[in-house]
Structure 1
Amino acid sequence: MATPTPLVPLRYVRLPGHGPEDVIADPQGRILTGVADGRILRLDTLTGPGAPRVETLAETGGRPLGLELFPDGDLLVCDAERGLLRADLGTGTVRVLADEVAGERLCFASNAVAAPDGSVYVTVSSRRHPLDHWLADLVEDTRTGRLLRLAPGGRAFEVLLEGLRFANGLALSADAGFLVLAETRACRLTRYWLTGPKAGRREPFTEDLPGMPDNLWRSGPAGPVWVALAGPRVPALDVLERAAPAVRRAAGRAARHVPFRPTGSAAVVAVDDDGRIVHHLARRRSRFRMVTSVCATPGHLVLGSLWEPGVAVCAPPAAR
């Protein structure tokens, strides 16, 4: 893999809330994010000389993670505690679209995308550990992640894939013919075909990433898929994945009691619809750590983090 180019920070914006896990841009270039106390925030004028304007648009009553805008302006929210939600950003009204799968409560919904046909696709990171114990799931490598589909107007999820290794970010291909899915524990992106002769099948998309992929974001069909790398690859985890399940379970239990501190690095990549990495930006000594999301707006990249109390504004990559 080619040497990464520098990830250049321009500004750090502290928020009135902690852990902006996902960041997305609306058509006006404003940033939407969810914080730990359940609020959905909108950030405007991030690159101006003064302090940005921060508005509270809605409150989920849980812990919002992945966000996705509907074409009508409503917000699709994966809430780790409440399930799949839809928020009217004009009124602040939040309603539950679905919160169970075959009688099992939907916990740790991570990311969602809305397809042109009205279907909503959702990832579940773990069926064994809640968000508060995400590290235990990575260490144990439970392989209980799922990909779900909610049909247009439906109330019940269809299970499309199981056995995923901490399923996380989702993005549609330019022609909406397939999904790109992040498997954080496996350090890879997986393709799930929606149309054509391979519909319903999965296959490798981008393997051996230089870190653990988290949220995915795409500005539109012309843009690449941006991938946040929440942390570097960990050789000890690569060794542990070959251990017996009982050994992994014991390691996972131990991880629940070990204080976590992220590495002092930050990195993102962008991939095209053939799975090729077209940008790799990294900073080895970063004040902004555990990058769980990235989105691109004209003139800059915006990074989110489950760990940090704010967002980072960075320079965009050079044109290629």
Structure 2
Amino acid sequence: MSTPVTVHRVHHDGAEDVVVATAGRHEGSVYTGTVDGAVLRVRPDGSVEQVGDTGGRPLGLEIDPEGRLLVCDAHRGLLRMDPDTGAVERLLAEVDGTAMVFCNNAAIGSDGTIWFSDSSRHYGIERWKDDFVQDTRSGRLLRLTPDGTVETVIDGLAFANGVALAADESFVVVAETRARTLVRRWLTGDRAGTRDLLAGDLPGYPDNIARGSDGLVWVSIASPVDRVVERLGSAPMWARRAVTRIPERLQPKPAHTCRVQAYDDHGRLVHDLDLDTPDFHMVTGVREHEGRVWLGSLHEPAVAVVDL
């Protein structure tokens, strides 16, 4: 028996990530950002309104303790948006004097520390396939503390993407899309400062990740494993670069799929939703809240929801 998927059209392309308001006057609403720079609110009744515009390309979204939206903008860096007025504040655009190329996803600690990913030092979102195929391994996980200090926590990642914290903030996890892993960095305890894998050899390429209200780390699987891309990984760099120069219509394309998974803090797979829907594909954002799983997509002009 297939799991029904409800699709909410937002009439803007590329509703890449989703976050649920769990308190305040917009409780139950879902926020998303689209390719034209818009940040949208999908109300519980399904109606859609524009909250504001980042002037760039909003990707990962979080809600801070004050109810403001933290926006990872691929063009403009880390932003903060007032969900009532749409006012935008730029928090961070540069690291060590160099502009970020591909700010992607984030998680917010209880002390206000922002853990976030910069997917590539070489290619922005318009050329994400170049970084993916060439496997530049120039992604990184960073943190921004409340006093404004910026630190690179993990460097050399194969397309750093989604970010999530443990429920007790004992570790932070970053999705390594090209390597199909969830890399964990321990923050407290005997293992503090070390890294390992929360999960490896994923069945596809992970995008955004988020901790749900169920305590699990939910992972969007944007595309299943592509054997051509995997074979290119062992090819010389000149060959990988040559592939990215061929016409778009001849390049490897993500397969039509709609899949998300959820892992506990021991790396055990708890949920694997491989959804059969012709109306939604390439899931790049996922957010579980009280038994409902919301989905975003880099390409769809819509968000979707599934009841567990």
- For the aligned pair, the TM-score class normalised by the smaller chain equals over 0.9
**Which residue does 2:44 correspond to in 1?**
45
**Which residue does 2:31 correspond to in 1?**
32
The alignment-based identity, stated in percent, is: 46
Q: Retained in 2: the 8 A contact 1:43–1:53?
A: yes
**Is 1:294 matched up with 2:286?**
yes
**Which residue does 2:10 correspond to in 1?**
15
Q: Per-residue displacement from partner, 1:249-272 (whole Å, max 9, x unpaired)?
A: 333333767467542221110000
Where do 5+ consecutive residues of structure 1 fail to align?
1-5, 47-51
Q: CA deviation at 1:58?
A: 1.9
User: How many residues were matched structurally?
Assistant: 304
Q: CA deviation at 1:176?
A: 0.4
Where do 5+ consecutive residues of structure 2 fail to align?
none
**Which residue does 1:177 correspond to in 2?**
170
**Which residue does 2:255 correspond to in 1?**
263
Q: Secondary structure at the match of 2:246?
A: helix
Question: Match for 1:206 among 192, 199, 211?
Answer: 199
Question: Quick one: structure 1 residues 150 and 164, their matched pair in 2 at CA, closer, same or farther if it must change by over 3 Å?
Answer: same
**Which residue does 1:193 correspond to in 2?**
186
Q: Secondary structure at the match of 1:313?
A: strand
Q: CA deviation at 1:281?
A: 0.9
Alignment of 1:79-118 (within 5 A): 79-118=73-112
Question: Quick one: structure 1 residues 299 and 161, their matched pair in 2 at CA, closer, same or farther if it must change by over 3 Å?
Answer: closer
Q: CA deviation at 1:70?
A: 0.4
2:292 & 2:151 partners in 1: Cα distance?
A: 38
Question: Match for 2:155 among 155, 162, 165?
Answer: 162
* Structure 2 residue identity aligned to 1:70: D
**Which residue does 2:229 correspond to in 1?**
237
2:153 & 2:138 partners in 1: Cα distance?
A: 13
* Structure 2 residue identity aligned to 1:212: Y
What's the TM-score once normalised by structure 2's chain length?
Answer: 0.93
* Structure 2 residue identity aligned to 1:263: A
Q: CA deviation at 1:246?
A: 2.8
Q: Secondary structure at the match of 1:9?
A: coil
* Structure 1 residue identity aligned to 2:42: L
What's the TM-score once normalised by structure 1's chain length?
Answer: 0.89
Q: Secondary structure at the match of 1:33?
A: strand
1:284 & 1:55 partners in 2: Cα distance?
A: 28
Q: Retained in 2: the 8 A contact 1:43–1:55?
A: yes
Q: Retained in 2: the 8 A contact 1:135–1:255?
A: no
